[in-house]
Amino acid sequence: MSDVILQTGGFPWLTTIVFLPLAGALLLMLVNKAAHHTIRWIALAVSIFDLVLSLPLWSLFDPATSRMQFVEHVAWITSPPITYSVGVDGISLPLLLLTTFLTPFCILCSWRAIETRVKEFMAVLLIMETAMLGVFVALDFVLFYIFWEAMLIPMYLLIGVWGGPNRLYAAVKFFLYTLVGSVLLLVAILVLFFQGGQTFDILLLSRVEYAPALQNWLFWAFFAAFAVKVPMWPFHTWLPDAHVEAPTAGSVLLASVLLKMGAYGFLRFSLPMLPDATAAFTPIMVTLSLIAIIYGAYMALAQADLKKLIAYSSVSHMGFVTLGIFVLNAQGIEGAILQMVNHGITTGALFLCVGAIYERTHSRMITDNTGLANPMPRYATVLVIFTLSSLGLPGTNSFVGEFLVLAGTFFWSKWIAAIASLGIILAAAYLLWMLQRVVFGVPNAAHAAHLHDLNLREMATMIPLVVLVFWIGFFPNPLLTKMHASVNALIEHVDTEELEVAQTTDSSHGARGTGLESRLAARGSRLAAKVVAP
Amino acid sequence: MEYTLIPLLPFAAFLILGLFGHWIKDKAHLVAVPAVVVSLILSVLAFLQVAGGHQTTMPLYTWLTSGDLRISLGISIDRLTVAMLILVTTVSSLVHIYTIGYMQGEKGYARFFAYIALFTFSMLMLVMADNFLQLFVFWEAVGLCSYLLIGHWYERPSACAAATKAFVVNRVGDFGFMLGLLLVWYSFGSLEYRHVFAQAADFAGETINLLRPFGGTWEVSTLTLIGLLLFTGAVGKSAQVPLHVWLPDAMEGPTPISALIHAATMVTAGVFMVARLHPLYNLSPMAMDVVAVTGALTMVLGATIALTQTDIKRVVAYSTVSQLGYMMMACGLGAYAAGIYHLLTHGAFKALLFLGCGSVIIALHHEQDMRHMGGLKDKLPVTYWTFVIGSLALAGFPLTAGFFSKDELLVSAWSSGSLGQVLTVFGLLTALMTAFYSFRLVFVTFWGTYRGGTHGHSHGQGHGGAHDIHEPSPTVTVPLIVLAMLSVAAGYFGIFEFLAPALPGPAAHEVGAHHGPAATIIMILATLMGLTGIAAAYYVYVKSPGLPDRFAQQWQRLYRLSLNKWFVDEAYDRTVVRPTFALADQLWRRVDVAVIDGAVNGVARAVAWSGWLMRLFQSGQTQHYALGMTLGAVVILGVYLLF
């Protein structure tokens, strides 16, 4: 085991970080349910404390190794051998930090928006945080599945109890849709258990070579669970409904963290465990990603509801993530991970913005919320910043992620990269057209009286996100450096497994010329093997 | 170190104004102006160092790494860079000063200064870039500033629409730029200029099969493809045909912006890029020809439209389109130095013309239609005389800077080969139109009698009679005077000789024919064209004022074509904009809601229906079960009996 994990020993960082919110939720149970203010402050304090606890991981993390770090390993059930084992590597660390970072904002943005069942709401949010963190750190498949499923319930409650008028339809749709996918995931886990040496250890299972036919079946079982979560086209229709009905905090968590679970699943399970199937189905996955990018953008162009617009833009942006993952090279995968973080920050922030305006005008319709620049200059400024980030303007976080994904894609196929780039033009069109109507022009007379600018609490939720947008935009390298070792190990792992497959599969990229061939060979990636092979 | 300060000072000004503008308010110029002026002084120092033979490239910090991709931000200082630095900081300083008077008392005063400081920073980083990605990053950043500043008066729907249009049209160009950049990295394994340029010659014979994924064969030279893709970006940024449509609409922004961004600096970035990448273009004759022909088309189209526009800013805007075409054509013909020379002189006299327009516009309380002007030369003497100097330079009148640069450009174009000779003819014809429309503007605006006030206050932004028209404050007029001096003096600094060694054309044609008889003939022809154009404008608009209307009547079709800008906007609206929105709407209604979500709900309904069906059999009433049993028995018995 020592070659895949790095024992840090000492303080159980991850367990503390994961379960602290759950402890906070239990603590809330003891508080008088009428004491709304106390409840809010406790929830906020717990989430901030969790964030503070997670920050040392950033500096303690050793970027030189691809091994799992901060590992905790406790036998849980002996037969079947289920263990409580957690750890992080360069792929999960950014997502873990993203989760601890965003939860306090979800609590802050619900400060005034939620006035009914405050205690239950805050408890659900905190339980949700535990489940999400658990997904990213679990190293045992059963443990992973428990967290994965546990996530559904708080989210179902968030939408179904505190949601909009059509909340039940949206909540049930969300629940059933993701549950159907998860059931197949469970089947796949059981198959892996029996085929992979009677273990649920994710790292051990990743080192087993499965028969190609089995890999194909498992790939689609994983796909069912992960593609729904991402969501990949055409399994995306639950997303706009869920977003529209969910309270702001629910939308933020949904967009920022839950959607990342699917992509994380592909990276953590599909690629390492099923390299042959991944390589074989790459063209399909890339095609679906491309459709998501373009189709999602077109959908966003047609929306009159701000939340739906952003929901469809998520479909488009997550298309870049899955595209980056399945082009299977360093730029693509690192771009995809960075893009997950970026999408979490930017889209989360956009939902916060929509939530803020909804609290004022009680409408999410673009036509009801126009001309905000004049009455709400602070709001207009942050909305413009997040929108520009969302459309991938250089200097903001999203540009770096999209650029890396496109660079990785370009190596895979120039035409695919060209089509994906069209999504960036469309993004400018639907987002700027939204800005033109919402921020500029003249306020809608019916709502003009309610348009007071962001208050201190709301600014406190926006400013850190603005800082991150520019910080990652200008200094993405510290974040990328954390990923290098893990991503390279992942790619090498996929390469060695599928070298023999590579000889026979397509080589759609038109690399020519001696200089180029040697350069590609020097890249040491599977592409090199493909190009040099006749 | 002082090189880094050149862009960082405006950036610092932006940060201060962006964060504290709320409190600084109408003192914003005290932050922005000194920053930019010091930047100008440092640029002059840098120029002197480079003139002394000093060149340098220095990395600032590692921006991103991934796999074998490694990109640093850095700055590179050479002849082309310092020439651009001087242009940007000079025009920016003057525009900053001008803005004090122009935007006085405006609500968004501090915001405006913050954005132009940000723009100055971005533009300086763009010209100082030492790699393709940095060029792209700041290329989009200047586009952002342009977007924000066009939409400065955000309560006007037309301004917001123009801002969105500018950004989206530029994105279309940047789409090509991005792919070109990726192809550079793919082929050369680096995005740094010096690495790419050093290897460029080795790639001269390389081709890419564009149809390989589809099983076909279409071999295209790698360098040509790179050149064309990158040029797409330049087409957008420098408002070349067919992506020129955003620039005239960009005039919705405040006039200082039109001068700084949409005339002197940002829109020339495309020309700058082609010149900067001359080692690549020189190796691809085909890409160069495309650049040259696109430039020539833009040059002619811009001039024909400028002939009939009545909004003074739009006349100057189309003139900018046309002049950018000149520069682009020169670069495409390998006359990079002449193109950049014209870029620099144009920066001076076109900024002057825009600021002059601005002076007229504030004097007339935001009137922009020249049909409501006239007779302003006595009321606005400084504006008038500086405007005349700018127009003379634009028309290529002898001894002005515009004369020297246009002459250099046309002679270089002629000597570049047969394509160059054809395009030179168009260049000369455009020179005629240029002189005509620029003096049409002068005569209609400043000569004759004042025609304002007759339409009363019906325009909303009403203005009084001729009596309260007076010259704006010195912060407005002093920049005009400085720019007027530069519009003449820039011809005597030896700019062309300074640039020529740094920007060699393709090895195939030596640009040495500058002193032959052909050169003299072109010079004489160009001068004649300029003078004829001015004389014609004088005859048509001063001597016989009824003539323009008669022309318009006689050649109604041509007149309409020009007045309506060749209907390019209408064509885009019908073929691109409306179909895109219609497609989006139909896709959403008919595919997403009806088919995909319909299928999802269909599955749910099918499950519910089958559940309901099953439930029928589980009613809990004995007689139902008895009926079922009876029916079952009958059916089984029937089957048994029949078969």
- Which pLDDT score, from 0 to 100, does residue B515 have? 63
Question: Strand A5-6 vs strand A68-77: parallel, antiparallel, or unpaired?
Answer: parallel
Q: How does residue A9 score in pLDDT terms, banded at 50, 70 and 90? A: low
Asked whether the beta carbons of residue A331 and residue B67 sit closer than 8 angstroms, the reply is yes
Strand arrangement, sheet containing A5-6: A5-6, A68-77, A82-88
Residue B624's pLDDT is what?
Answer: 81
pLDDT of A532 strictly over 70: no
Identify the H or E element spanning A167: helix A167-195
Cβ-proximal residues to A425 (8 Å cutoff; 6+ apart), any chain: B168, B171, B172, B175
Q: Is residue A507 part of a domain?
A: no
Is residue A531 situated within a structural domain? no
- Predicted confidence (pLDDT) per residue in A236-275, tens digit: 989 999 999 999 999 999 999 999 999 999 999 999 999 9
Residue-level pLDDT at A58: 92
Selecting from B155, B164, B175 the residue whose C-beta is nearest the C-beta of A421 gives B175
Residue of A173, A435, A520, A531 to mutate when probing chain B, most B C-beta within 10 A: A435
Regarding beta strands B219-221 and A68-77, do their DSSP bridges make them parallel or antiparallel, or are they unpaired? unpaired
Mutate to test the interface with B, among A236, A329, A432 (most CBs of B within 10 A): A432
- Is the CB of residue A16 less than 8 Å from the CB of residue A46? no
List Cβ neighbours of B47 (8 Å cut-off, separation of 6 or more): B82, B83, B85, B86
pLDDT in tens, A112-130: 888 889 999 999 999 999 9
CB-closest option in B163, B182, B596 to A407: B182
DSSP string, B351-369: HHHHHHHHHHHHHTTS--B
Q: Assess whether pLDDT exceeds 80 at residue B616.
A: no
Q: Say if residues B440 and B312 touch (Cβ distance below 8 Å).
A: no
CA-to-CA distance for B438 and B435, rounded, in angstroms? 5
Q: What separation in angstroms does the CA of B110 have from each of B14, B15, B117, B354, B641?
A: 10, 12, 11, 22, 98
pLDDT digits (tens, 9 = 90+) for A265-307: 999 999 999 999 999 999 999 999 999 999 999 999 999 999 9
Instruction: Give B598's contacts (C-beta < 8 A, 6+ positions apart).
Output: none
Q: Do A432 and B600 touch (CB under 8 A)?
A: no
Q: Mapping DSSP to helix (H, G, I), strand (E, B) and coil, where does residue A1 land?
A: coil
Contacts by B33-37, CB closer than 8 A, 24 or more apart: B33/B93, B33/B96, B33/B97, B33/B100, B35/B9, B35/B10, B35/B117, B36/B9, B36/B10, B36/B89, B36/B92, B36/B93, B36/B96, B36/B117, B36/B120, B37/B93, B37/B96
Selecting from B66, B203, B583 the residue whose C-beta is nearest the C-beta of A334 gives: B66
Q: Nearest CA of chain B to the CA of A377: how many Å?
A: 11
Shortest Cα–Cα distance, A385 to chain B (Å): 11
Euclidean distance between CA atoms B99 and B118, whole angstroms: 15
Task: State how many domains chain A has.
Answer: 1
| Any domain includes A533 | no
**Residue corresponding to tokens 């809010």:** A40
- Place A527 in a pLDDT band, splitting at 50, 70 and 90: very low
Radius of gyration (C-alpha) of chain A in whole angstroms? 23
Cβ atoms A419, A294 nearer than 8 A: yes
Across A43-57, A194-208, B86-100, B335-349, least confident range: A194-208
- B587 neighbors A302 (Cβ within 8 angstroms): yes
Contact B155 A395 (CB under 8 A): no
- Decide if B584 and A298 are in contact by the 8 Å CB cutoff: yes
List the single residue in A302, A407, A515 with the smallest CB-CB distance to B585.
A302
Which residues, 6+ apart, have CB-to-CB distance to A464 below 8 Å? A101, A105
- Side-chain-side CA neighbours of residue B185 (13 Å): 26
Token reading at A410: 């370009």
ipTM score: 0.90
**Backbone CA torsion sign across B494, B498, B500, B503:** negative
pLDDT digits (tens, 9 = 90+) for B372-382: 888 888 889 99
Residue B171 touches partner A, C-beta closer than 8 Å: yes
Which long-range CB contacts under 8 A does A356-364 form with residues at least 24 apart? A356/A109, A356/A454, A356/A458, A357/A306, A358/A248, A359/A112, A359/A113, A360/A447, A360/A450, A360/A451, A360/A452, A361/A444, A361/A447, A361/A450, A361/A451, A363/A447, A364/A244, A364/A305, A364/A306, A364/A307
User: Are B243 and B171 contacting, i.e. CB atoms less than 8 angstroms apart?
Assistant: no
CB A357 within 8 A of CB A265: no
Half-sphere exposure of B91 (CA within 13 A, CB side): 35
For B:583-642, CB contacts with A below 8 A are: 583-585, 587-589, 592, 596-597, 600, 604
Which residues does B571 contact at the CB level (< 8 Å), separation at least 6?
A: none
- Closest-CA distance, B622 to chain A, in angstroms, reads 35
Looking up tokens 């037309």 gives B158
In a domain, A428, yes or no: yes
Q: Which residue has the higher pLDDT, B148 or A6?
A: B148
Cβ contact (<8 Å) for A302 and B584?
A: yes
Contact A73, A133 (CB under 8 A): no
pLDDT per position as a tens digit, B7-43: 999 999 999 998 888 888 888 889 999 999 999 999 9
Question: Is B263 within 8 Å of B316 (Cβ atoms)?
Answer: yes
Name which of A248, A476, A394 is nearest B132 in CA terms.
A394
Tens of pLDDT, residue by residue over B399-415, are 999 999 999 999 999 88
Contact B68 A403 (CB under 8 A): no
- pLDDT for residue A529: 37
Residues 6+ apart with CB under 8 A from B121: B7, B8, B10, B11, B14
Percentage of chain A beyond pLDDT 70 is: 91
Q: How many CB atoms lie within 10 A of CB B513?
A: 15
B557 membership: H or E segment, kind and range:
helix B556-563
Q: How far apart are CA B239 and CA B358, in angstroms?
A: 22
Chain A residues closer than 8 Å to B602 by CB: none
Chain B positions in Cβ-Cβ contact with residue A509 (cut-off 8 Å): 212
- Name which of A91, A301, A382, A397 to mutate to probe chain B: the one with the most chain B Cβ atoms within 10 A of its Cβ: A301
Is the CB of B138 less than 8 angstroms away from the CB of A394? yes
Instruction: In whole angstroms, give the CA distance from residue B175 to residue B237.
Output: 12
3-class SS of residue B85? helix
Show the domain range for A427: 5-502
Q: Does the pLDDT value for residue B472 go beyond 90?
A: no
Neighbours of A419 (CB within 10 A): 16
In a domain, A24, yes or no: yes
Find the residue in A nearest to B582 (Cα): A302
Tokens representing B239 are 């408002």
Residue B257 near residue B111 (C-beta atoms within 8 A): no
Asked if A424 contacts A503 with a C-beta cutoff of 8 angstroms, the reply is: no
3-state per-residue secondary structure call for B395-424: HCCCCCHHHHHHHHHHHHHHCCCHHHHHHH
Q: Do A435 and B137 touch (CB under 8 A)?
A: no
Nearest CB neighbour to A331, from listed B66, B172, B178: B66
Q: What is the pLDDT of residue B219?
A: 87
Domain spans of chain B?
Answer: 284-544, 571-642
User: Cβ distance B536 to B548 under 8 Å?
Assistant: no
Contact B157 A303 (CB under 8 A): no
CB A287 within 8 A of CB A153: no
Asked if B210 has any chain A CB less than 8 Å from its own CB, the reply is: yes
Closest in B133, B160, B178 to A436, CB measured: B160
Lowest mean pLDDT among A100-109, B489-498, B612-621: B612-621
Query: Model confidence at A496, in pLDDT bands (50, 70, 90)?
Result: low
Identify all chain A residues contacting B65, using CB atoms and an 8 Å cutoff: 477, 480-481, 484
A508 within some domain: no
Q: Any residues with CB less than 8 A from the CB of B67 and at least 6 apart, and which? A: A329, A330, A331, A334, A523, A525
Torsion sign, CA atoms A473, A477, A479, A480: positive
Sorting pLDDT into bands at 50, 70 and 90, what band is B513?
low
Residue A83 has pLDDT above 60, yes or no: yes
Structure tokens at A490: 């992942």
Where is pLDDT greater, at B207 or B177? Answer: B177
ω into A231 cis (within 30 of 0): yes
Interface touch B587/A302, C-beta < 8 Å: yes
Q: Do B175 and A425 touch (CB under 8 A)?
A: yes
Q: Do B208 and A238 touch (CB under 8 A)?
A: no
Instruction: Determine, yes or no, domain membership for A133.
Output: yes
8 Å CB contact of B69 and A414: no
DSSP track, B474-492: HHHHHHHHHHHHHHHHGGG
Identify which of B64, B141, B587 has the shortest CB distance to residue A476: B64
Instruction: Return the biggest CA–CA distance within chain B.
Output: 117
Question: Which of the two residues, A532 and B486, has the higher pLDDT score?
Answer: B486
- In chain B, the residue whose alpha carbon lies closest to the alpha carbon of A337 is B66
% of chain B with per-residue pLDDT over 70: 96
Q: Is B524 on the interface with A (CB under 8 A)?
A: no
CB-based contact B407:B523 (threshold 8 Å)? yes
Closest A-chain CA to B141 = A394
User: pLDDT tens across A253-262, in order?
Assistant: 999 999 999 9
Contact residues, chain B, for A515 at CB < 8 Å: 199, 202-203
C-beta of residue B3 within 8 angstroms of C-beta of residue B77? yes
- Chain B segment 120-159 residues within 8 A of A by beta carbon are 133, 136-138, 140-141, 144, 147, 151, 154-155, 157, 159
Does the residue A519 lie in any domain? no
